[in-house]
Amino acid sequence: MVTAGNNMSSPARPVDLLRPETEPSPGSASEEPPSGAIGTGGAAWTGRTRGGYFGNWFFVQLIRVAGLRAAYAWLALVAAYFTVSSPRAFRSSVEYFRRLSGPKPCWLWPVWVYRHFYSFGVTLLDRLALIMGRSRMQCTFEGEPRFRELLDRGQGIILLGAHLGNWEMAAHLLGRLDKPVNLIVLEREEANIRRLFDQALQSRRFRILTADDSPLRTIPILAALRRGEMVAMLGDRSFGGAETPVPFLGATARFPVGPYHLAAATGAPLFHVFAVREKLGAYRFFSFPAQFVGRDVLRPGSDALARFVAEYAQRLETVARQYPFQWYNFYPFWDPAAVTDPTRSSSASTRRSG
């Protein structure tokens, strides 16, 4: 039975519900993390991207004046620069591909890392060009009726994506459903860069809700769900809050549990969603069936919570294998204490959404 949006209960400990996601800025092709930042398994990650104000400003102006194709061409140089100048991000990309496909000749890694960085840049530029109105993108939507019916009945829903594909473009395109879309982010970007993109992306069809350790930050998120709106989050990056270790690409990685706490505390259905690039200018959005998370996951040490997170990681692995150059976590992702075997994989679902 679907719980009506205006009947959702408030959580007792709102500070523990969320560990939000930080969005990268479009001018940067890499997220090489400086030391001293927070991240998964002792990894370093700050939520800031390389490239600086000028690099981001340059791409905004290039798209505005010369168009997206010109930005793609310039991106080839930027991706090459980061391939040779970002050793930590390079190693993280190689580690990901080793787990995905096993050992390869050494000469192949720079080629794949370059493609990885370039793919990331294309994702960011596509998002920027579309929202700025400088380009059109084709997008097919699969599984959308699964949550459209709930929205039409006034039920708020949680869309749980990943740093895979073009998550922010998906949030923008979902605005066509005439229901508000709220994207939860952890904002740590420099103020001048935030202002640059607030101006460039002022036509976006989603709202940014900033969340952090303050209980007050959860109030607008809970209010959005009660109003029957969409709340979009990313579930593949931890920031030192509540998390649980599950198998992912053959070893243990820690995933945040905040989205499941939020779903359990509010009664909102949770959907795993992905928006991937099929080719330049063409994307595919798809959704898995809804998960209804019981309040038992709020109990410490709940086995149910680990099962929910493991299913998400399994689906993420399946999609990453289908679109290997579109998963963008350029920092040490796996638990360093885990025994690593890049050729082994956690069992992945072979189902594609309908």
Q: Where are the alpha helices (DSSP H) in the chain?
A: 52-66, 68-85, 87-101, 108-132, 145-152, 167-173, 191-200, 218-226, 258-266, 303-322
Q: Which two tokens stand for residue 214?
A: 């303050």
Q: CA–CA separation, 211 vs 19, rounded Å?
A: 7
Q: CA–CA separation, 153 vs 213, rounded Å?
A: 32
Residue 343 resides in a domain: no
265 CB-near residues (< 8 Å, 6+ apart): 9, 10, 11, 12, 17, 295, 298
Residue 24 near residue 188, CB atoms below 8 Å? no
Q: Tell me how many domains the chain contains.
A: 1
57 lies in which domain range? 5-326
Residue 155 near residue 269, CB atoms below 8 Å? yes
Q: CA–CA separation, 73 vs 59, rounded Å?
A: 11
Residue 348 resides in a domain: no
Residue 322 resides in a domain: yes
Residue 273 resides in a domain: yes
Residue 179 resides in a domain: yes
Q: Which two tokens stand for residue 328?
A: 């963008």
Residue 309 near residue 255, CB atoms below 8 Å? yes
- The DSSP 8-state label assigned to residue 343 in this structure reads T
Q: CA–CA separation, 162 vs 289, rounded Å?
A: 16
Q: Which residue has the tokens 């002022």?
A: 202
Residue 39 near residue 331, CB atoms below 8 Å? yes
Residue 242 resides in a domain: yes
Residue 202, Cβ density class (10 Å: 0-12 exposed, 13-18 middle, ≥19 buried): exposed
Residue 346 resides in a domain: no
Residue 201 resides in a domain: yes
pLDDT, tens digit only, all 354 positions of the chain: 323 333 333 333 333 344 434 444 434 433 443 322 333 343 444 555 566 889 999 999 999 999 999 999 999 999 999 999 999 999 999 999 999 999 999 999 999 999 999 999 999 999 999 999 999 999 999 988 888 899 999 999 999 999 999 999 999 999 989 899 999 987 766 788 888 888 889 899 999 998 766 667 788 999 999 999 999 999 998 665 688 999 999 999 999 999 999 999 999 999 999 999 999 999 999 999 999 999 988 887 778 999 999 999 999 999 999 999 999 999 999 977 654 444 344 444 334 443
Q: CA–CA separation, 170 vs 206, rounded Å?
A: 10
